[in-house]
């Protein structure tokens, strides 16, 4: 049957119209039309030997087992049927509905109370955490400001120190005269010991 299915599928499917992909499956060792082997033709398989005591014991056990299973199954089926019993009495329906509602409502209330306590705790923690974070950031900001101020003051002091040597409009003539009077010659060579050699022609 399986082989037949595969054949019919492979023949009808558009992808494999040729029989190249056809693979015939066989459940038995032999094809159906091959007869029983000559050597096995008159073979009689040996029957299992069961001791009489064992057989009696097995019979007893099986009888017990079947009885027990029958009662257990019946019990389970009855319980199942009872659990699915449908009532048409409106009072009963209302009662079942109320009971179910009360049960669900109780569970819901429990969950709500639990979530409420969790929420209160969460918000308390969150507020505390936020305050702490704000305090920490404020402290950090103050420290940064202090550092910046110190840096600025240091730069200002440095510049003040330097400003004594600046050339301004007041002393520019003096500076020019000084520069003209003391020309600096950078045209020199240096040896490995650092000695300078000016205008030395070889």
Provide the binding-site residues for another protein, judged by CB under 8 A.
Answer: 54, 58, 61-62, 64-65, 68-69, 72-73, 76-77, 79-81, 83
CA count, 13 A, side-chain hemisphere, 113: 6
Residues 197, 189: contact at Cβ < 8 Å? yes
CB of 77 to another protein, least distance (A): 5
CB of 110 to another protein, least distance (A): 23
For another protein, which is the closer residue by CB, 42 or 80? Answer: 80
CB of 74 to another protein, least distance (A): 10
For another protein, which is the closer residue by CB, 63 or 125? Answer: 63
Provide long-range contacts, Cβ within 8 A and 24+ apart, for 143-149. none
- Write the CB contacts of 26 (distance below 8 Å, at least 6 apart in sequence): 3
CA angle 185, 190, 196 (to 5 degrees): 50
For another protein, which is the closer residue by CB, 44 or 81? Answer: 81
For another protein, which is the closer residue by CB, 72 or 167? Answer: 72
Residues 25, 2: contact at Cβ < 8 Å? yes
CB of 99 to another protein, least distance (A): 21
């Amino acid at each position: 049957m399986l082989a037949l299915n595969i054949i019919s599928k492979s023949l009808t499917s558009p992808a494999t119209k040729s029989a190249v992909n056809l693979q015939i499956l066989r459940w038995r060792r032999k094809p159906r039309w091959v007869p029983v082997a000559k050597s096995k033709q008159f073979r009689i398989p040996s029957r299992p030997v069961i001791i009489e005591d064992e057989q009696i014991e097995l019979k007893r056990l099986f009888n017990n087992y079947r009885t027990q299973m029958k009662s257990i199954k019946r019990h389970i089926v009855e319980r199942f049927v009872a659990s699915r019993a449908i009532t048409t009495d409106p009072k009963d329906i209302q009662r079942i509905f109320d009971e179910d509602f009360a049960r669900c409502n109780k569970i819901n209330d429990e969950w709500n109370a639990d979530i409420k306590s969790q929420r209160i705790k969460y918000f308390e923690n969150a507020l505390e955490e936020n305050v702490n974070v704000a305090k920490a950031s404020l402290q950090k900001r103050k420290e940064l400001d202090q550092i910046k101020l110190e840096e600025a003051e240091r730069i200002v002091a440095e510049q003040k120190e330097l400003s004594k040597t600046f050339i301004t409009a007041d002393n520019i003539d003096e500076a020019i005269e000084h520069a003209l009077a003391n020309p600096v010659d950078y045209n020199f060579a240096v040896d490995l010991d650092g000695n300078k050699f000016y205008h030395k022609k070889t």
